[in-house]
A and B are shown apart, each in its own frame.
Chain A
């Protein structure tokens, strides 16, 4: 089990989601985030005030996956979120100690297995 955390450009989110669904990665959470990845700041002007926007809009994906889904997930994000410009983001892969599915109480491997496959599993195990 791993937790894949990816910070990507918001305009790449749709492509990333399509790729993940095609790769059968179905459980994920996204958050709007702001970050700085070394890219050039854009400049905004409001009357006499000029400001440099030091933080760029990003989207943070959090995906808990079982081991054999780790590589396809990473490959999909790398392919779909890459523009080649500075600021494309990062993918972090973190070990996960335990996972519970709140609805059933399933944990670990069963909790990160898509629903249709684990529907027959025993709750509470």
Chain B
């Protein structure tokens, strides 16, 4: 084992974990204030439920020796995952680093279903999804599975993380249906500064996401790190110019979105392409995602925070451009189309199509199953008062005026107990 590698991977693991609350802030700023805590919670809760599911079972399904096309259960309950070397770092650290990816991937999906999904149903959904979609795909690409053996290139998770999340977001938005006010009222962000702060923290954490995916403190890590800096820079510039051309104004939400799109697009390529290649990926990725954001808003698809446009479209563009711009001379296992290996683009396209189809099918199954057990959609009146109060009994920006302290002796005499059951009991079948 190598001390510097261990040090960098410890730090990278913490950096990637930070991305999940960062995503929570990015998303929370974009919703109405009455749903901001609920939106933040949808990301943060993943660190617990998906984190635990990963350690107990998910890691094994992704990285244990293959059984029937996915990882077996040899590493379930962390059996055989100790301080022995995995590459040049402790196996346990490798498991934790990979766990932070599972956590953020499930949290990404929440952007498509904010302001209307019941919280318990959401938690059940993402926990199951991390085991039934994320872990198998991670196995196929990184755990020794068939896509990896076929030669599909995915340095840090363009396919495993972003295409799966983008596809699941599309499916979830369709199954849940649009918010009651969607396309009827102006639904505008309640705190753009929160969104920009979240985007900044996401970028910071992404240095661990991409840089750490080298699994060592080496030249490839440095390449991935630098590409993580300059690809989003290129996206930001192009996005801002597009904004200026369309509305004559550069927007803060636009810049925050551009940063995420650029980071998504460079993720599969980060350790495989030249810095100029990364800038090209960042710049090119701006166009389809920008268009997707505009088009989506004119449809009935209430992918509320544009997860499909940012992560789905951005992920596909990144995966395909990796097949174009990858270079052996920069450490890639295979050259891309531009460097004399056109078949790589075909492999990338195959991986994209297969992962989209698998994710769509299994996500649909999970959501329909959850729906059988309990309603997935919040009652209309809860949507009206906001999910912060109805789901959590809290307010993001509460003020104490009018808050009367409930003393223990009064609590016993209270006939109307917590808000949610009282509201829910009044025949909300909607």
A interface residues (Cβ-Cβ under 8 A, vs B): 44-51
Contact = CB atoms under 8 A, between A and B. Distances in A.
Contact of B294 (A44, A48, A51): A48
8 contacts: A44-B188, A46-B251, A47-B254, A47-B297, A48-B293, A48-B306, A49-B187, A50-B247
A46 B253 contact: yes
Interface of B: 186-189, 247, 249, 251, 253-254, 257, 293-298, 306
A43 to B, nearest CB: 8
A51 to B, nearest CB: 4
A47 B246 CA distance: 11
Q: Is the interface of A mostly helix, strand, loop or mixed?
A: strand
**Nearest 8 Cβ contacts at the A-B interface:** A48-B297, A51-B186, A48-B294, A47-B293, A48-B293, A45-B247, A46-B253, A46-B188
A45 B251 contact: yes
Given A46-B251, A47-B306, A51-B186, 19 more contacts: A44-B188, A45-B247, A46-B188, A46-B189, A46-B253, A47-B253, A47-B254, A47-B257, A47-B293, A47-B294, A47-B297, A48-B293, A48-B294, A48-B295, A48-B296, A48-B297, A49-B188, A50-B247, A51-B188
Contacts of B188: 44, 46, 49, 51
B260 to A, nearest CB: 12
Nearest to B185: A51
A48 B186 CA distance: 11
A50 B253 CA distance: 13
Contact of A45 (B249, B295, B298, B306): B249
Contacts of A46: 188-189, 251, 253
Nearest to A50: B247
B35 to A, nearest CB: 16
Contacts of A44: 188
Contacts of A49: 186-188, 297
B337 to A, nearest CB: 32
A50 B249 CA distance: 12
Contacts of B297: 47-49
A111 B163 CA distance: 70
A34 to B, nearest CB: 14
A48 B305 CA distance: 11
Contacts of B254: 47
Nearest to B195: A46
Nearest to B249: A45
Nearest to A48: B297
A50 B187 CA distance: 10
A46 B249 CA distance: 11
A47 B111 CA distance: 14
Contacts of A45: 247, 249, 251
A45 B293 CA distance: 12
Contacts of B249: 45
B298 A48 contact: yes
A27 B296 CA distance: 53
**Centre residue among A44, A47, A48, A51 by max chain B CB count within 10 A:** A47
A51 B187 CA distance: 9
B424 to A, nearest CB: 31
B223 to A, nearest CB: 32
